[in-house]
Every structure is written in structure tokens, then in C-alpha cells.
Structure 1
Amino acid sequence: MKDQAAPGGGTEATSPRRLSTREAAERLGVKPETVYAYVSRGQLSSSRAPGGRGSTFDTAEIDALARRTGRRAPAPGDLVFRTGITLIEDDRYYFRGVDATELARQYAYEEVAEWLWTGELRPGIRFTAPAEALAAARRAVDALPAHSGSTDRLRVAVVAAATTDPLRFDLSREAVLAAARSLVPTLVGALPMAADAPSAAEGAPDASGAGLARQLWPKLTARPADEPSVAVLDTALALLIDHDLAASTLAARVAASAHAHPYAVVSAGLGVLEGPLHGAASGLAHRMLTEVLERGSAAPVVADHLRTGRRVPGLGHRLYTSEDPRARTLFALLAEMPQAAGALAAARDVVTTMARHAPLHANVDLALAVLSVSCGMPAEAGETVFAVSRTAGWIAHALEEYGERPLRMRPSGQYGGPRPPQPLPVPSGEPSQ
């Protein structure tokens, strides 16, 4: 049967075939219900299928959406990790099948970490830093130059703590869990107090037996800790524990695949986290919000970013089509803090201003920036919170990876250099023969 003419003078044979709902969902790596949600939000257009049964979708439009959101089905040859830790689906995310935002609202960071590691909820659990590890980490951190950043200090603290643990090469589940429960509070304890923060000798309350959020608070700000503010910090820590295979988590799993001990796994994660596109992104958002507050409006600040070719920080996320659920949770809590009103209004002004240019929603970096700006924290505070929190997630992934075939992540390079044989190189400055 011959092809019939298609609109525009072509033929059906030369026009791209339209996708069914099921095929569109598979191409995007989502459920069919999510495809219809994209249509309802105006992110996709659809046409009624012949006969009126179901809808069809333009292939190019589906592929463009997949590029924008980063959601697509794994292609043949893709490296896929089977994990039971975090699921991101339909603009929500789950820890072991439980809504992560609900967990973070109701339970402390340590309790959520235990849930992620073991699948068991242990109300009231507290992590304790061993005296020897904490002393070694503090000595190492204190020896760093004064201009060192928080991630520099955390990396050094991890190495110092590792040297005090002769059993760090024991990769049994219980040994790794014991190391994790001691390492996280050691990292927090090794950080210096915030500038102008009162020391214990000056009457500051002793936070050594408190939850991790209260221990971390005086390392981030000199302002006295109040319950609502510490609760928001605790929630932020719990929300950020894991987010599937982010770049730092992939690095941690590669280290675990080589059977690196848990301290080395965390070191691998910290090395990647420091990039401006990952853990350090909240610092950029902090500086932007500070400028918005100083200038009284987001419009000139956003305009400056766009004029100079810089992306506006704190907006958009490749895994979510609407507002990042972590940001939404933190914004709701920050709205209950009177001191956060100004920074929160500035953040909303940024989102509204950018909406005229691109339909981007707030992500967790913007929410962390509201917290840090409103509580008198430095720009790098969000990065510190991110690093401390994500340490538990890296350990969770290491526990999974230790049970897999070792060194399974060995991709092959596609060589693009000169084809051999090539002559031996001539040393610089010497004439060729």
C-alpha cells in the first residue's frame, strides 16, 4: 500500500512516528500518569489517537522534555545501580519507600540516618564521637590555614579520624555502621566555633549530648540557638541525607566498589561535593539573596546574572518538574520563623522575577540560602550542612555496594588520540633529526 500525503507536502514515511502514552512514559522513564501530569501543566502537548483511544505525543517534544528534566529510561549499555535506598518519582522522593519529607518533619537526623542504613526506626538515638578520633580531628583541623573552607576542614577531619580506627578495613555491616555512627559527630565536633560564638567556658550550653543539629548550630552561627531554628536545621539535615545517585554519591559508590573503607568512601564523596554545581551551590544562592535584600528587589540582581551569562542560583532541578520537595518542606518551616521573613520574601521575589523569563522552580539550595541568611550564617553554611548530612547517605550506598561484585564499575575508554605507531617524541628545545 502506498504512503498517503502528509500535511506539509511530505509523507507519513518521512514524518516522525508519534508515540503512544506507554511509549512516551518509557522514553521519559516515568509512569503513564506522570505523562498526563506533564500535559496538564502545559509541558507537553498531545493529540487524540486515531479511533479516539488514548493520546499520541510528538517524539521530538518528548525527547526535549527528557533533556530538560534528566528523566529518561536507561538505554542499553547504561550503568544502572539497583538500590533500595532512595526513589525519586512524580516530583516526590522516598527513603526506603517512605515519603522522605514526612520522615524529615517527624524524626531527627540521626533517626532518619538509622532508617536509611538499617530499615529500622530507633527513636531517640544519638551519635557519639570517640574521644581519640575527635581529638585527632580537631588537631588536624586546627593546623589548617585560617582561610580554609568548611569542606577543607571536613576532608582533613575524615582522614584524621580514620587514622585512629585500626578496624576501619573491616567491611562487615556492623563494623561499618559503628564507624558511621562515630564519624558523623566527629566531623561536626572538629569544626571550629562560628566567629563571635560563645565558647563553653563563656557560658554557652554544652551540646555534646544533644542531637546533631544542636551540636552543629554553634559551628554555623554566633546567634543563640532557639528551638524553631534548630528544628529547621535538623529537618534540613534529614532532607539532604540522600538523593539517589548524585555525583558525589556515584563517587562514593565507586570507592566502595574498590572495597575502600568507609572513611575513604566519605572522602571520595567530599571531593566531588565541593563543586559549585553540587554542594557549594547554596553559597551562590546565599550571596544572591544577600544582594537582593541590599538592593531591595530581585529584578536588578536577576538582570545582572542574565546580562553576564550567569545562571540564577537556587532555581530548577533536573529531576523535578515543579518545586523541589525539599525546598517546599523547608519553606513551610521557615515561614513560621519571624526572623526568616525578609530572606523568604527575597527568595520568592527571585522565583517570581525569573518566572517571566523561564518556568523554573525553587530548589533546595535556595531554601538553604534562606536559612543561612536569616540566621546570620556565612555563605558556606549550606555547603557544611549538605556535607555533614550527605555523609550518612554515602555510608548507606557503601553498605549496598559492599554486597555487590567488586570493581564492577570499570568502563572502557573510547580512544580518540593519534593512531599508533607514532615516532618517539622529541624533547622540547632539541632539533628533530
Structure 2
Amino acid sequence: MSDNTVLTLQVLSSDGFSMDKLKNLLSGDKRRFERDIQKLISLNRKAFDFLGIEARGNYDDSFNYSLRLASSEYSGVIPIRSAGSGLVSGYLKVTGRYGEEIDDILPLLRDENFTPEFDDSMPISIDAAVAPPKYIECAKYIDIYEQAERFHWQKFSNRNLTQSRPRNTDWVRYSLDSFDPANALKYPNKINLLTTDHIEWMVLQYVLDLAISELKSLKTPISLRMHYANDLKRLGRCYDKGAIIPADHITIHSSDPMIIKELKNIANLILANSSDIRCAWRIDYSRFFERYIQYLFTLLAHKRGTRIVNNPHYSISGKKPAWALKYLEPDIVMIKEGNQVIVDAKYKSHMYNWDSNSEELHNTFQEDFHQVLAYSSFNTMQRKKTIIAYPYNEFRCYSTTAHSSLNECENVTYLMGIPISKAMIPEVVDSLQEII
């Protein structure tokens, strides 16, 4: 791991990486630095595209050449292949803009229907913030199961059979049954058969059933569902659901064939809902912040007994040009006894620039403000409440009021700074409860 170069970049930013920073990713020949940069870009085009990274060679004002990377809205990790060896010799990690740590938060957002995207064609060997979704292990299980199926794994299995001749007979049972002359030649024998239909295989069929269900679910990308559709259809006919044996863990024996050991190992990962796969992953950071805010307000709703609706669609009908909106979609609507609070999450730097008066901040806030005002127009309250949530290193809340002298309506908008921190979640929810 010490030989791996880890480059870091923030979302929606750009940075230059000099020869010193890229040392382990180049050929080592300083005379070929510019060519190495171009080769590095070419070798890692797929990985850069996955994170939406724009990569180019660039001369600075001092005529020093460097690798210039510009990030998009995606955060995540990708492997970087060396221009010298062509092998993975480093990683690029794109993080949040404000130094927040999201590793502990991502697992909390599974209930908010938010999981990172993964690409298992780009493996990494560093610890990822999150494990890949279950369907990746399930796809691996299907592949290995088909190989194991062709292996025809046999084991001795004890079966209780009624036969016409005594053979390892249960004489106690025979003595109880043979009082009836019709059972005199029926011997309850315990037979040790070499078969493929043994208990351990039935347990593996139980995991197969789980894997098939997972790959058929809507959580699995449609491309993967289509790829495995025929395999799942065939395998679904190859076992009796009534005969499978549930298990929480499968023991791996030293005597097991190698293919069975591999299958059991993946089966245990599926049963434990974990994964040993490490591969490139990404999240849309704006969407992550939106889901995080939804998670906080869901906790608040449980405390206050209010109803939460995430991402409702307000449809727009009538004759519309091609560029018109089809619907409006607020991030959160809190509802209680006819009252509504509209919440919109914005991963922007406004709370960090409270005293700045740049034109860009003014224009983007104007868009945000008009947006929540539009969302709130659909309730009949005279005094409407809206919230614009921005990231900040601690909880902050400021209220502004827009008042109409025409109809005495007003809209109270809370500008909130929300820390992205698992440790601060209870404090944030308590603060929200005091305000709303």
C-alpha cells in the first residue's frame, strides 16, 4: 500500500498535479514527462469518465507542465494505472468541498433509497467508504454456482428407506410396525448413499434462491437483470424451493473441492450481507446532501408526529414548449394538520460566505429562493414556511420573511447551515425541533 499514490480532489473543483506528486505513476524518465502525462490520461480515460473528471496536460504561468484535473458533481474513488507499467499504482479520491467525512453517514442513507454506484470492472485495493451492493456478490454467486453445478459435487447422505430386505435396519421401528402381517417384509433401513442431492448442496440452493431474488429485484440495474435473465430462468427450474435448507452461515471444510470452497465463501458474504469486493464507486454529491437532509427530517418527523413526503411531483399540464418543465419537485414536504413546511437542500457554499456579496452568490441564491417560493405556492396557508438547507460546519439558522401587501400573505424562509457529521445528528435534530 505504501507504493500506491493517492491523489485527492474536491467535488466541483480543479487542481494541478506536478511531477513530484505523480512520481509513482510515471515512467521515471523526466525527459518523457509530457508524453507520460498524455499516456496516463489515455490509460485512465474510462476511470476519469466514471467520475466525470476532465483531465489534460497544462502549462502554468511559470511554464511548468502538470496534470490538470477538474472534477464534476461526483465524489468517489477510482484506480489510476501507471504510464510506466500500465498497472494500477495509485488512486484518485474525490471528496466533499468542505472537509466533511461521509464514511459513517452513507450507511445511514440506505433507508432513504440512496446507494453509491459501483463499477466492478475497476477493482481497487484500498478500503472503500461503503461496500458494494448485494447484487454484485449475487452475480458472482450465479457465475460460480453454474461452474459448481457442472462439477457434480457428491457426498454421502444418510437416507431412511423402506426396502424388501434388511440392510442396516432400524429393528426397534420394525418390531413396532411388523405386528401387521402386511409390514412383515417392509424393513426400515438407513442407507448411506453417494449423491449430489445432499444437505450441504440444499443449503447452497437456499443461497441461490436469495441470489436469484436479489438479481430480479428493482434495486438491481436493468442492464444486469437483462444479462442474467436467461440464467435466472434456467436455474429457477433446477431446484425445489420446498427442499432447500435455510442457514445463517455455511461451514467450509478443508476437504471441500476448490470450486465449492469459493462458492461457500461468496454464500457466507451474501448471508452476512457483506462483500469482499473493492471497486470504483461514486455518488452524486448534491443528491447525497439531499438524501442526508431527508434523513434528518425523517428523524424529526418521528419526534414531532408529522408526515414526510420526499420528492413529490407537482405535475404541469397544458400546451408546453419543448423546453418547459414537466413537473416541480421539492425535496421535502412536512405535513401536519393541514400545515406544510417546504424544504430544499442545496450543496452550495452560501453559509460559508455569509459576509460575501459576489454576483454569483446573489444570482444562485435568487434561484434557490424563487424555487422554494414556487414550491410553497401550492398550499393555502396565509403564513407559509420554507427552508433552504446549506452545508456548514455547525448548525445555524436565520429567518427571512417575504411579505405581500396585496393579499397579506407572507413566506418565512429559514436559511439553515447543516453540518454533515454523524456525531452531530442528534444535536441538529434537537435544534430543528425547537425551530419548526
Using the size of structure 1 for normalisation, the TM-score is 0.23
Q: Of the two structures, which has the highest relative contact order with CA contacts closer than 8 Å and spacing of 6 or more?
A: 1
| Structure whose residues are more often strand by fraction | 2
Q: Please identify the structure whose Cα radius of gyration is greater.
A: 2
The structure whose residues are more often helix, as a share, is 1
